[in-house]
Structure 1
Amino acid sequence: MRIIDLKSNIQQNFIFVAFIFFILLVGWTLKNIYFSVEMGIVPHKKGILLTSAGVILILVSPLMVRISKWAFSLTFILYVLVSFLLYADVVYQRYYHSILSIEMLGQAGQLKAVDDSILTLMRLTDIWYGIDLLILLVFLFYPLKKVSYKRPGVHFVLVAFCLILGFSSMKYTYLHLVKDDFSEQLKVAKTGIIPTHISETYNSYMERMAAAEVFSSQDSIKQLKEYESELEKRQETQQMSPYFGDAKGKNLLMIQAESLNDFVVNLEVNGQEITPYLNAFIKESSYYPNTYLQIGRGNTSDAEFVANNSLYPSKKDGAYRTYEKGVFQSLGQILKSEGYQTSAAHGNVPDFWNRKNAYPAQGYDIFYSKEHPSIDDSNVVGLGIDDKSFFKQLVDIWKKEDKPFYSFVVTLTNHRPFELPKEHQKLNLPAHMNDTPVGHYLQNVYYADQAFGQLLEGLKQEGLYEDTVIVYYGDHYGLIPDNADQLKKDLNIVFNKKEMFNIPLVIHRPTQTEGEVNEVIASQMDIAPTVTSLFGTQQPLYQLGYDLSVKKEGYVGFRHEITPFSFFSEKYDFEMSLDGVFENGICTDTQTGEKVDVKKCRKNYDRVQYEVELSDFLLQYDAIEKLKKGKF
């Protein structure tokens, strides 16, 4: 009877394990396929099935040691973790248009600060990403029969078999279906998220290892000298500007406006201007309406980095984490070396996006955060100190500060989820727009513009306005593609990628009395060169952007938010193919909107690719330090 009972128990447990394997395999495969479809990419179903089988073999390996409650619980926990990683990728992709890097997990501590923003990216249909977990939860209460292997070492053989077969299945499938040039999204659509994350993490590690030895190679030294020559040529164009040195010795105030799209400029709703103070400021400043973001995984912090350093953002993580302690030639460093008092201001905690650790290398002497003793943080709206309160306090600080000064300010009130307190909502919107994503956004923009107007008035009252260069620009988009239908219906705005990436850039010179509109295609990378030209900077600069007063052939290249090496330009826009093959990309005539021969986009594609490689070389290998010292 014992033998019969033992066989019966083994059969029952085997059926249980097989059933669990089946549920996990089906659930994981479907979730990865569903994610690919959500990204708008046709999934490779066989590839995802094969790698999913490999993942599940690894996850059920604890059941090979002993079929017991604790082993199944461990398998369940592991599956919950990988499912959470997948869903984190889903939500991240909806806003950042890329896949989470493992390095980004170091920012998990910031989730509490932006939890409301994350909630706005979740959908009711997301239940499909977790329904298999509910099914598995039921089986935690299944009465398993205790069975031990009579032959010692059998369970180790079974575990080894699952692990080897699992990893082999993922590796074989990945190597046969994926090429290095594929976008992260396409890699996921071919093989699922786990092989993609493993591969990206391994590649990142190998890049860091290679960086330590790069300058032992004569080829790398030669490459750096060639890059130095290119950067010198770009700097020489600044001296061609009619405004070169126009602001020498003046203060610099650079304001990065949170979530500010250009379409709100001069926009009226119900007879009300959405940005009346910005509109008035434009009339006495230089306005660049065709400016585009170049953010990376660090979002707002990367906009800061790009605007101040004129380099592309990091490939894997926010620049302030990846390049925390490097040597830079940022605006802060440049002006500090010329005797300026430098400071940065951000109305949140100093650790947010690692600013506290990164700002010293950016050249800021002082960081005014909500924890600085000179700052009153009692008036909070949304993610940080109310812009109105923050600006007022900063004006009081600047009037006492040593001159000349450079102050970089990041605003916060106009931040997702755009839930401005009712008492601050002053726009009289049409009834159908109230309590909608677009309505909330416009209320926030209007309030932030009121704060900007009060700042300008404060600067004038304290005698700072006429002695200060003021740069005002948006960091990134506020609304997302989910809001496109309402924008079209209520405001007649076609919210495509180009409109979404379009941010305002306004620069006011102290000597300027009349406004001018420059239609050149510009980017956040062009801000620093335009500023250093105004200040007549003569020291060597390592900037990839151009002074906008002399930039003739406008273009903006991307490494994030859209397939890398895509670009917008005066004549043609180019969207790189997900498979990394230039010939499969889409080249569009900007005048007609029609697709044209992709060869017409080759020149700017090569240029953007070259710039990204140059930027990565400078940052990954800390090459700016060698350029400054002149020792290779």
Structure 2
Amino acid sequence: MAKLKAFYKWLTETKLGFFLFVIVLFWLKTYFIYVNKFNLGVTGPMQHFLLLLNPLPAAVLLIGIGLFFKGRKSYWIMVVIDFLLSLWLFSNILYYREFSDFLSFSIIKTSGSSSDNLGKSIAGITQGSDFLAFFDIAIIIILLATKVFKMDVRRLKLKISLLIEALAVTFLGINLTMAQKDRSGLLTRTFDNNYIVKYLGMNAFAAYDGVKTAQTNAIMAKANHSDLQSVQSYIKKNYIAPNPQYYGVAKGKNVLVIHLESFQQFLIDYKWKGKEVTPNLNKLYHANDTISFDNFFNQVGQGKTSDAEMMLENSLFGLQSGSAMSSYGTSNTFQSAPAILAQQAGYTTAVMHGGAGSFWNRDNAYKSFGYDYFMPLSYYKNKKGYYIGYGIKDKLFFDQSIKYIEHLPQPFYLKMITVTNHYPYDIDKKNQSIDKTDTGDKTVDGYVQTAHYLDQAIGELMDYLKKTGLEKNTLIMLYGDHYGISGNHHKASAELLDQSSFNNFDNLLFQRVPLMFHMPGLRGGINHTYGGEIDVRPTLFNLLGIDDRNFIQLGHSLLAKNAPQIVAQRNGDFITPEYSRVEGSYYYTKTGKKIKHPSKAVKAKLAQISNTITSELSLSDRVITGDLLRFYTPPNFKAVNRKDYSYKKKESLSRLRRQERKKKSSLYYQNGKKTTQSKFKTDAPELEEK
């Protein structure tokens, strides 16, 4: 009892005791809010531990500033810092409820649509329990006012204050080390702000975002119109005209982009134990009315899927480090495919995705790209067993998407992002319909099972398109976003491909992913042109008859007769029909033999290709990091205003219904204002378990 009284006296009559009390209250409050106010997707003991730990180091570091002062000032400085941290927490609760993301300096700085809309509706979105963010402040002030806490006016020894700050920094380092071990590339890839908060905490996210914003501002501040002129000069000089034989053959048609997650080209026609892994995609690939590319490569960097989307929509590369969509998607100016198609050809534009809207900053970047609608996970039923890895299973995703597809006014530009064929390639037994491979590599062996499931889902969607007649009026584009099996699995890759060995050059060729354009009546065939994701938009525009001469883009139509066929990799490697470079070594592409003693002519050719690669990657980086498109608006194009877009479900669907009634061109109207849901047939076992 005496010890308890002594502790109570220390707690209420010393500065360190008050500091401990403030920290513990702030810690418990913050953890409670993390768990109950945010959807951070915490899984596994490590993530739960880090979520519990991460409020502490930053709180000790910041509130501990008050320990350096003497007298009453010391106490009130700690209270004020605690209040400011609580206000930041409260603001993020409101912002997250509205936008499923955290406040960033770029959002605050630009006062964009997000902050404007939040300000207008702040009363409507506030809940009484949100004020728990200030609960500890109220308690502390009451205890100080009633003199339960007696202020210790003595100055604390400097070495004690410094030791506390040093311990806070040490714990921050430990927190970061543990987080990086559990999630490699946490701070460099920046795929979701939820991950930063989950692992490092709200205050660490604010510091990280501040540093990132300062770096971005420094680069943007130096950028000017002359920087853009050099980019325009290069693009004009190297412009490749589209193929006139294909120009506009799909004019006015719907465009359905099917995003094949982690899907590599080798899966086409691949058999395991005599069974086709992807029979539906094989059929499409070889169809007479499908243009299929067998030398099409992914070109992603750390941004993975987001890099693929950046190239698809903008014909600009991802960044050397991190994700362009995450870092620049909110604030930059873009002249993207959806905005161009909406303005120049009257398209309704939409993305459907059974995963979190905040992942890769999609809920912000899509507004900058000019997408009319974005239907993420919040638009879908997510029952137990529906979700796997990064979103709803593909069959369930397609099934639930019908109610949105049939109401899109035509012509539409729709991107559907699949997720089931995503690392770690694990799917529940009831959805397995092909055996795993037997390389012994756990990462690799499940790949054919999830790819087979994806293929089945594609088959079900294609059947629906045929039954409803949508296929006749739709250009269907299927593309693989990036590799599924990384370069860390050479032995298993060799076994899959039935090769005696698998080296870095083989891995470079392994970066092939599918690209197909399918439309009834299209003059198809397998096209051997070398190209990459940077070339998708110009190729699509070639088919749609969209004039792209005045747009800033670094790709070329793969249908063009004089396509350059130089495929850049984000790390500077490249592939051409003749030569390839990987990790500083050069190879003959057709034979795979290393070029050891190149002739003078070969040296000159390799230098020319390398210069092209370096120039285009550099120019693309300058466009994005300098936000250079703000200095230029192409003819017949109106700059995208993010304030014009909202993806809140109720508001968005209401707007879609109004647009549908006005245009009367949706599949629903064409079907006599009757749903076509019954025409989508799926064997998804989850729907049978009712």
TM range (shorter): 0.5 to 0.7
Q: What is the aligned partner in structure 2 of residue 262 from structure 1? A: 265
Structure 2 unaligned blocks of 5 or more: 1-156, 200-206, 639-690
Q: What is the aligned partner in structure 1 of residue 577 from structure 2? A: 570
Residue 371 of structure 1, aligned match among 370, 378, 387: 378
Give the 5 Å matches for 1:180-259.
Answer: 205=214, 208-215=217-224, 221=226, 223-232=227-236, 237-238=241-242, 240-259=243-262
1:23-70 superposed Cα distances (whole Å, 9 cap, x missing partner): xxxxxxxxxxxxxxxxxxxxxxxxxxxxxxxxxxxxxxxx99469996
For residue 463 of structure 1, report the CA deviation from its aligned partner. Answer: 0.6
| Secondary structure, counterpart of 1:517 in structure 2 | strand
Quickly say closer, same or farther: Cα 1:226–1:270, change in 2 above 3 A: same
Quickly say closer, same or farther: Cα 1:68–1:529, change in 2 above 3 A: closer
Quickly say closer, same or farther: Cα 1:64–1:477, change in 2 above 3 A: farther
Residue 527 of structure 1, aligned match among 521, 536, 541: 536
- In the alignment, the residues of structure 2 paired with residue 547 and residue 392 of structure 1 have an alpha-carbon distance, to the nearest angstrom, of 33
| Secondary structure, counterpart of 1:470 in structure 2 | strand
Q: What is the aligned partner in structure 2 of residue 108 from structure 1? A: 195
Is the Cα contact below 8 Å between 1:211 and 1:620 reproduced in 2? yes
Residue 177 of structure 2, aligned match among 80, 83, 98: 83
Q: What is the aligned partner in structure 1 of residue 275 from structure 2? A: 272
Is the Cα contact below 8 Å between 2:308 and 2:482 reproduced in 1? yes
- In the alignment, the residues of structure 2 paired with residue 532 and residue 601 of structure 1 have an alpha-carbon distance, to the nearest angstrom, of 31
**What amino acid is the match of 1:607?**
T
Q: Structure 1 residues 611-620 or 438-447, which shifts more?
A: 611-620
Q: What is the aligned partner in structure 2 of residue 313 from structure 1? A: 318
Give the 5 Å matches for 1:115-514.
Answer: 205=214, 208-215=217-224, 221=226, 223-232=227-236, 237-238=241-242, 240-284=243-287, 285-324=290-329, 325-337=331-343, 338-372=345-379, 375-378=380-383, 379-428=386-435, 432=438, 436-493=442-499, 494=502, 496-512=506-522
Is the Cα contact below 8 Å between 1:387 and 1:451 reproduced in 2? yes
Quickly say closer, same or farther: Cα 1:298–1:509, change in 2 above 3 A: same
Quickly say closer, same or farther: Cα 1:536–1:490, change in 2 above 3 A: closer
For residue 296 of structure 1, report the CA deviation from its aligned partner. Answer: 2.6
| Secondary structure, counterpart of 1:377 in structure 2 | coil
**What amino acid is the match of 2:595?**
K
For residue 604 of structure 1, report the CA deviation from its aligned partner. Answer: 1.1
Does residue 591 of the first structure (1) align with residue 590 of the second (2)? yes
**What amino acid is the match of 1:570?**
P
For residue 507 of structure 1, report the CA deviation from its aligned partner. Answer: 1.3
**What amino acid is the match of 1:302?**
D
For residue 235 of structure 1, report the CA deviation from its aligned partner. Answer: 5.2
- In the alignment, the residues of structure 1 paired with residue 474 and residue 433 of structure 2 have an alpha-carbon distance, to the nearest angstrom, of 31
If the length of structure 2 is used for normalisation, what is the TM-score?
0.60
Is the Cα contact below 8 Å between 2:191 and 2:359 reproduced in 1? no
Is the Cα contact below 8 Å between 1:399 and 1:462 reproduced in 2? no
- In the alignment, the residues of structure 1 paired with residue 197 and residue 604 of structure 2 have an alpha-carbon distance, to the nearest angstrom, of 44
1:134-163 superposed Cα distances (whole Å, 9 cap, x missing partner): xxxxxxxxxxxxxxxxxxxxxxxxxxxxxx
Residue 546 of structure 2, aligned match among 530, 533, 537: 537
**What amino acid is the match of 2:171?**
I
Is the Cα contact below 8 Å between 1:382 and 1:420 reproduced in 2? no
- In the alignment, the residues of structure 2 paired with residue 280 and residue 619 of structure 1 have an alpha-carbon distance, to the nearest angstrom, of 39
- In the alignment, the residues of structure 2 paired with residue 204 and residue 568 of structure 1 have an alpha-carbon distance, to the nearest angstrom, of 35
**What amino acid is the match of 2:267?**
V
- In the alignment, the residues of structure 1 paired with residue 250 and residue 392 of structure 2 have an alpha-carbon distance, to the nearest angstrom, of 31
1:292-343 superposed Cα distances (whole Å, 9 cap, x missing partner): 1121322112211111111111333312222223222211111111211000
Structure 1 unaligned blocks of 5 or more: 1-62, 93-98, 113-197, 577-584
Is the Cα contact below 8 Å between 2:579 and 2:588 reproduced in 1? yes
Give the 5 Å matches for 1:25-104.
Answer: 65=159, 77-81=171-175, 83-84=177-178, 87=181, 91-92=184-185, 100-101=187-188
Is the Cα contact below 8 Å between 1:235 and 1:543 reproduced in 2? no
- In the alignment, the residues of structure 2 paired with residue 626 and residue 85 of structure 1 have an alpha-carbon distance, to the nearest angstrom, of 40
Q: Structure 1 residues 443-452 or 619-628, which shifts more?
A: 619-628
| Secondary structure, counterpart of 1:548 in structure 2 | coil
Quickly say closer, same or farther: Cα 1:403–1:344, change in 2 above 3 A: same
Q: What is the aligned partner in structure 2 of residue 12 from structure 1? A: none
**What amino acid is the match of 1:84?**
M
For residue 486 of structure 1, report the CA deviation from its aligned partner. Answer: 2.3
Residue 558 of structure 1, aligned match among 569, 576, 583: 569
Q: Percent identity?
A: 28
For residue 618 of structure 1, report the CA deviation from its aligned partner. Answer: 2.0
- In the alignment, the residues of structure 2 paired with residue 102 and residue 377 of structure 1 have an alpha-carbon distance, to the nearest angstrom, of 27
Quickly say closer, same or farther: Cα 1:420–1:246, change in 2 above 3 A: same
Quickly say closer, same or farther: Cα 1:521–1:66, change in 2 above 3 A: same
Quickly say closer, same or farther: Cα 1:446–1:209, change in 2 above 3 A: same
**What amino acid is the match of 1:108?**
Y
For residue 504 of structure 1, report the CA deviation from its aligned partner. Answer: 1.2
**What amino acid is the match of 1:228?**
Q
Is the Cα contact below 8 Å between 2:219 and 2:626 reproduced in 1? no
**What amino acid is the match of 1:362?**
F
RMSD: 3.3
| Secondary structure, counterpart of 1:416 in structure 2 | coil
For residue 434 of structure 1, report the CA deviation from its aligned partner. Answer: 8.5
Q: What is the aligned partner in structure 2 of residue 146 from structure 1? A: none
